[in-house]
Structure 1
Amino acid sequence: MKVAYYPGCASHGIAKDIDIATQLIAKDLDLELMEVDDWNCCGGGFMDDRSEEIHTALNLRNLNNVKKMGLEKMATPCSVCLNSHRIALDKYNNDTVLREKVDERLERANIDYEGGVSAEHFIWVLIRDVGIDNIKKHVKRPLKGIKVGTYYGCQLLRPYRVMGFESPFSPHSVMDLVAATGAEPVAFQMATACCGFPLMGSNPDAGLKLANNVLSSARNNGAEILVHPCSLCHLQLDVTQLKIKDHFNQDWTLPAIYISQLIGLSFGYTPDELGLGKLAKKYLAERGIS
């Protein structure tokens, strides 16, 4: 199955491990991820606040490039990128004044927007197109006994009218994928709360507090490792643990990994092949996974 693939800026840079793991498991599952030609940043988290018109045009340009590739579905491993594209498309379809301005801007760039392309999260493709049962068939190393906190974050689920895959009050996608690996999913109260990444530039104290809330909730409910579906949550919940230790005197020592990395472990890939960090590798080595 061919799917247009939008990695996003983080997965092509500081969170390259997400792209590596996603490409590995996609190949095993016979998913041909075709990177979107000449893609641009979605502008999520900053451009949408500065110019609704430019933000919408940027995202429609990506979707139009998918159309030119002869595909009708674009998958991304980043919840922020997904949210950005879907909100831009929703605004374009429902705001006639904005649509006229965006069309004019696209026309100046010699872009004739055609439409007809959907933006989806990579995990939605795994669940709807690949199927949980098919994923289970590829498991070579069941992750039995590993207690995994299932984190969704905020942008994968909200606003529901635009995202629409599952209820923001009782999501199950990440939990279903974790269970498919043989690991034990651990639900916790802050599983759909914001990780705090959007605040790190303007109010880092508040951003760290939100991250601390998520980590403490997961750990206090029995999670030994945290799994998430977002490139930016990946950075916030992993890298900031040292800052949280200094700021709040809390040492959670909770490995935070991307969902593709967990699935990759169950498929038999090594932590090194999946680009896992020191904290995750130490935890896994203690459980005989290396």
Structure 2
Amino acid sequence: MKIAYYPGCATHGLSKDVDIATKKVSEILGIELVEVEDWNCCGGGFLDEYDEKAHAALNLRNLSTVERMGLDKMVTPCSVCLQSHRLAISKYDENKDLKKEVDTKLKEAGISYQKKATAEHIVWILVKDVGLDNIKSHVKKQLTGLKVGAYYGCQMLRPEKVMGFEPAYNPHSMEDLIEVTGAMPVKFPMAIACCGFPLMGSNPKGGIRLAYNVMNSAKTMGADILVHPCSLCHLQLDVTQLKVKAEFNLQWTMPAIYVTQLLGLAFGLSAEELGISKIAQRVLKEKGII
């Protein structure tokens, strides 16, 4: 299976461990990830609010590159990047004036979008194209005894009309992948709430509060660790871990790892190979996983 791969800025930079784990797991599963040539930032979360035409043009430039690569599917491990590209496609399809202006911009750059390529999440590819039974056949180590909070965040699911893979308010893909590893998925009320990353630049206390809400909700329901599907959630829930602990005077932590890091552990890869943080490693050691 050959798929265009769009890492996005966060995955390519501060969340490099997400990139590493996704590539290692994809290789084991027979997925050939071909990085999109000369890809650009999707502008997700800010540019679409400021200039939706520029936003659409940037995202469709990436997809037009995928088409020129001879591929029709672009996968990303980042929910923000996913939503950004799919929103651009949706607006391009529905707004004739925007479509005309975007086509003009792309033409000026010597390219065009033929509507043959689309964007999908790595979770979708794993569940739909690879298949749970196929994934299970590669499991070498059952993660028995590990209680995993299945966190979706907000942007892989909504708006449901644009994302369209599963019900926005009753998803199950993350639980399905957790179960394959032998771990126990834990549902919790804040599983589809925002992690707070968008607030960290303008209102860091508010952002930390939202991160705490997610962590505390999972802890209350008995989770040992969070597993998530987004490079920016990864930054928020992993990097702010100690800030949350200090702000709320907590005696516990709620480590967060990316979904392909969890799969990688079940496939027999080491925590070091997968770039799993020291905070998460401590919990995994306590549970006898590593």
RMSD of equivalent CA atoms: 1.0
Given the alignment of the two structures, is residue 115 of structure 1 paired with residue 115 of structure 2, yes or no?
A: yes
Aligned partner of 1:164 in structure 2 is 164
What's the CA shift for 1:252? 3.6
The aligned runs of 1:69-84 (5 Å cut-off) are 69-84=69-84
Aligned partner of 1:267 in structure 2 is 267
Aligned partner of 1:106 in structure 2 is 106
What's the CA shift for 1:48? 1.2
Aligned partner of 1:61 in structure 2 is 61
What's the CA shift for 1:246? 2.7
Instruction: Report SS of the residue matched to 1:264.
Output: helix
What's the CA shift for 1:112? 2.0
2:166 partner letter: E
TM-score, normalising length: structure 1: 0.98
Change in 2 beyond 3 A, CA 1:251/1:106: farther
CA–CA distance in structure 2, aligned partners of residues 18 and 138 of structure 1: 20
CA–CA distance in structure 2, aligned partners of residues 89 and 251 of structure 1: 45
Given the alignment of the two structures, is residue 188 of structure 1 paired with residue 197 of structure 2, yes or no?
A: no
CA–CA distance in structure 1, aligned partners of residues 30 and 194 of structure 2: 33
1:167 partner letter: P
**1:215–1:252 contact (8 Å) kept in structure 2:** no
The aligned runs of 1:1-290 (5 Å cut-off) are 1-290=1-290
1:64 partner letter: S
**2:78–2:230 contact (8 Å) kept in structure 1:** yes
Identical amino acids, percent of aligned pairs:
61
**2:12–2:19 contact (8 Å) kept in structure 1:** yes
What's the CA shift for 1:247? 2.2
What's the CA shift for 1:251? 4.4
CA–CA distance in structure 1, aligned partners of residues 267 and 5 of structure 2: 21
Q: Which consecutive unaligned segments of at least 5 residues does structure 2 have?
A: none
CA–CA distance in structure 2, aligned partners of residues 89 and 112 of structure 1: 13
**2:241–2:255 contact (8 Å) kept in structure 1:** no
Instruction: Report SS of the residue matched to 1:227.
Output: strand
Give the aligned length. Answer: 290
What's the CA shift for 1:287? 2.9
Q: Deviations over 1:204-260 (max 9, x none)?
A: 121111111000000010000100000000011111122222322234411100000
Instruction: Report SS of the residue matched to 2:37.
Output: coil
Instruction: Report SS of the residue matched to 1:34.
Output: strand
Q: Deviations over 1:47-90 (max 9, x none)?
A: 11211011100000000000011000111000000000000110
1:141 partner letter: K
Q: Which consecutive unaligned segments of at least 5 residues does structure 1 have?
A: none
Give the ranges of 4+ consecutive aligned residues of structure 1 lying more than 4 Å apart after TM superposition.
none
CA–CA distance in structure 1, aligned partners of residues 72 and 280 of structure 2: 36
